[in-house]
Chain A
Amino acid sequence: MIQSTAAKKLQGEVPNVYPSIPDDTSVALGSPHSFFRFMNNDSSRGVVIQVLVLALFLFGMWYLFSNAANNLDRLSMTFGFDFLQVTSGFNISWSIIPYDSSMTYWRVFLVGVLNTLVLSAFVIVIGTLLGTVVGILRLSQNPLISQIARGYVEVVRNVPLLIQVIFWFTVVFSTLPAPRKSYSLADVFFLNNRGFYIPTVDLSISWWWITLALGVCGASLWGVVKWAKRSQRQSGKRPVGVYAALLLWSAVVLSLIAFLSQWMSWNVPVLKGFNFREGAFLPASFGAAFVAMTVYRSAAIAETVRAGMQSIDRGQHEAAFTIGFSRFQSLRLILIPQAVRAIIPPMTNSWLAATKDSSLAVAIGFPELVSVFMQTSINQTGRALEIIAMVMGFYIVISFVISYLLNKYNDHVQYKVR
């Protein structure tokens, strides 16, 4: 291609003294043997190589799967997903959807998936907030603060996550007092070596009403904020009415809560025998995994945030300072909105890593997907092939979803270039 376009260019300016080079070099080489001529042609050689690689790949696959078929035959096992309808027969220590041992393996899979998702969602949200704060502290003018933040980041980043997870579990959460001597906050929240007990709300009417009320509150608040922003943009001043509106809004919310509370009853955990009854409960393994992973993730995110902030031109800091912005204002209005553009792509990777890292909770017995499905269920059913395919499929789907959503958001925040 390059040669022929160059030749064309030449033809326009100088008399063509060179013989034109044909695209098919094999003709020029004039190899006597047709096989060599065939192999010297880029496209035909490419086809040969691809066919060979594909054949090799298919052969490898066939070899592996025929071995698998033989081995399964030998062990008189079958392949199929029918085991998902079988009763599992084992208990899971904690789940957010109702589960007991009489339910099926499909339910076990769902329990594992939801536990993994809950753990990683908590880690992602809190870890991102903490990481942003640490990343900003890392850039503090005060050397003491920035060095403490640096020390935190370096220590946390350079110790393997597994060590940290096990440390938090065995050293911190398992050495909390027994249920009878648990720490309590106002006799409503309890913390002991089994976990964290919190009160729950029982409703005598449908949950849809609460959802509806929340929706109304959220929508009205959103409307007020939007109106305040628009009039501030138009007039340059924040309208006084916004405070009145916010006051009105909170009055409405309070009266709504008061109105709904006649159907609500608090379900406070109480100590009965050796353990707490009523209320909801987060196991100690969840606490340890959550704290360790949040701390670990926050260190990674702090580095991302710091790099993003440092990528902003120094003039932006100075300009913000010049027009009289305080440090907080310049961070919120000038620096962070610009840093977000540089931060989003590495942040995506960090969140994906957080989801994958949640599998390490298997080491302390938190019932997430790998633990309940890949360990216990494989041991119980022996369906290694199907179960591993399902678990890997779940992780692949999750990472595609997260990266798709964040790519969309990334397109939205990047500079619009025409």
Chain B
Amino acid sequence: MEKIHSDTERDDYKPLKKFVASPARPPKRETHGVIGTIRKRFFNSIGNSLLTCIALAVLFYLGKWIVNWAVIDAVFVADTRRQCFDTSPDGACWAGVISWFNGLIYGRFPVQEQWRVNLGVVIGIVWLLPLLSKRIPLRGAILLSWVALFPFVGAYLFLGGRFGQELGLFHGIMTCAAFGYLLLIYLNLIKALIGSKTIAVAGLHLLFVPFLEKRLSRRVVAISSMLVWGGLSAIAALFLSSFDLPLVPIERWGGLFLTFIIAGFSITMAIPVGVILALGRRSKLRVIHWLSLGVIEIVRSVPLITVLFMAVTLLPIFMPSDVEFNKLSQVLVAVCIFAGAYMAENIRGGLQAIPKGQFEAATTLGFGYWQTMFLIVLPQALRMMIPNIMTSFISLLKDTTLVSIIGLFDIMLMARNIANDKDWVGMHTEPLVLIAILFFVLCFSMSQYSLNLEKRIKVDR
């Protein structure tokens, strides 16, 4: 330290010569314009030129080979794999995939009942449509109602059976309530479109309004819309009990449909489970902290496939002998815990990024623990972690293919099964390529959307 100071105060210190800038040289011609840019970027050295040429050659031959295999030499119409070979031995045999397409989408769901799957998907989407409009208040309540009630509708449509009998009375009541709620949302929308300017949609909060609200007029509105909900549910019940849907056992579910059920369920359950585990891990109460930490760390350090095996082999041992399981519910439990543990780490990252001032401000306002967490901290933490959460969702979607290893007929196992069909023996490549493309499109668009969201959040902050 001392030396540096003495250096600057040398005796022979002379001031620098006055700096005179020489006139700027014009830019080199060869780095400008189209040709210049190409030369600068692609051919600026021998190594780079070589690399460019090799890359172009590889791209050309790879592209040519792929186009030849997948389009030009491919066979789209044939009855068996033999016919494909006879027509064109070097091309893809898409005919097999086309004839199995229904199986890839619906698994072994009976063909004449497949409209129920389509209807279920359409209802699920229609339920969520109001979320697209920014003018609708309480969109969170609609999302919550979807999470809470749509599974009953889905189970009713996909499983079928006589209404309120095979699936139980409680399930029947919930299905009616769900249909009633969906009708209520749309009635409200229509009413608002006709009448007043603001669109008021009934949320699940209506359940609590009569008990919390002191103003009579509001209470009347809330109670009346609950009555309307009840009435609509009764109409739905009358309608639904007027016919029977044939029972489709869970073993016949499969294909993309099953993949989406598992992925959708685990994605929706991952956040609540993750929030509970993350809050537990950050808790000051030792027991809760250590329990959550143990669950998170153990689940995160073992592969998903071992968790799935555990669910399939150990759940029947650990449960009373009279409880009956199907493979799907065991898998859903396993995937839920697995996804929750990973989500907990994401959410914990978000919680740690919340400045201490937010907690203190909440305490100052007199908020308790739950109010602080749910009204102040978690909304910010979740928002901040949206990109990471999306990444988790993508890997969850990819991981659902693992259920094929324990014998659920998801799209992966359906695709592998085509090779066992006597007409299409040994056809592995085409189905695998098809589902690879499908997953690529889904995951890539999700990741691009999450990048987009990330940029928007950055702008917002």
Contacts and interface: CB of A to CB of B under 8 A. Distances in A.
A170 B288 CA distance: 47
Interface of A is mostly: helix
21 contacts: A49-B285, A64-B318, A141-B48, A142-B42, A142-B52, A143-B42, A144-B55, A158-B398, A158-B443, A160-B399, A160-B412, A164-B436, A166-B432, A362-B405, A375-B309, A384-B317, A388-B310, A392-B306, A392-B310, A396-B302, A400-B301
Contacts of A360: 303, 305, 402, 405
A67 B316 CA distance: 9
Contacts of B205: none
Given A46-B285, A142-B41, A356-B303, A384 B314 contact: yes
Given A46-B284, A71-B321, A362-B305, 8 more contacts: A50-B285, A70-B321, A142-B48, A159-B439, A160-B399, A163-B436, A166-B432, A392-B302
Contacts, number: 152
A154 interface: yes
A370 B303 contact: yes
A167 interface: yes
Interface residues of B, number: 56
Interface string A369-405: 0100011001000001100100110011011100000
Contacts of A155: 440
A352 B301 contact: yes
Interface string A23-49: 000000000000000000000001001
A330 interface: no
A67 B319 contact: yes
B306 A391 contact: yes
A255 B169 CA distance: 86
A67 to B, nearest CB: 6
B225 interface: no
B436 A54 contact: no
A141 B305 CA distance: 41
B125 to A, nearest CB: 24
Contact of B447 (A158, A378, A385): A158
B56 interface: yes
Those 7 A-B pairs whose CB atoms lie nearest each other, nearest first:
A399-B301, A158-B443, A160-B398, A170-B428, A356-B303, A50-B287, A359-B303
A100 to B, nearest CB: 26
Given A142-B41, A359-B306, A163 B55 contact: no
B88 to A, nearest CB: 18
Nearest to A167: B432
Main secondary structure of the interface of B (DSSP, over half): helix
Contacts of B44: 141
Interface of B: 41-42, 44, 48, 51-52, 55-56, 59, 284-288, 291, 298, 300-306, 309-310, 313-314, 316-321, 360, 363, 394, 398-399, 401-402, 404-405, 412, 416, 419, 428-429, 432-433, 435-436, 439-440, 443-444, 447
A378 B130 CA distance: 50
A63 B203 CA distance: 39
Nearest to B445: A158
Nearest to A51: B287
B398 A170 contact: no
Contacts of A385: 314, 317
A70 B320 CA distance: 8
B300, B305, B313, B320: residue with the most chain A Cβ atoms closer than 10 Å? B305
A52 to B, nearest CB: 9
A57 B303 contact: no
Contacts of B444: 154, 158
A72 B309 contact: no
A161 B398 contact: yes
Nearest to B444: A158
A178 interface: no
Contacts of B305: 359-360, 362, 370
B313 A378 contact: yes
A53 B288 contact: yes
Contacts of B318: 64-65, 67-68, 71
Nearest to A158: B443
Contacts of B42: 142-144
A357 interface: yes
B237 to A, nearest CB: 37
A148 B55 contact: yes
A64 B287 CA distance: 20
A57 B447 contact: no
A133 to B, nearest CB: 13
A253 interface: no
A323 interface: no
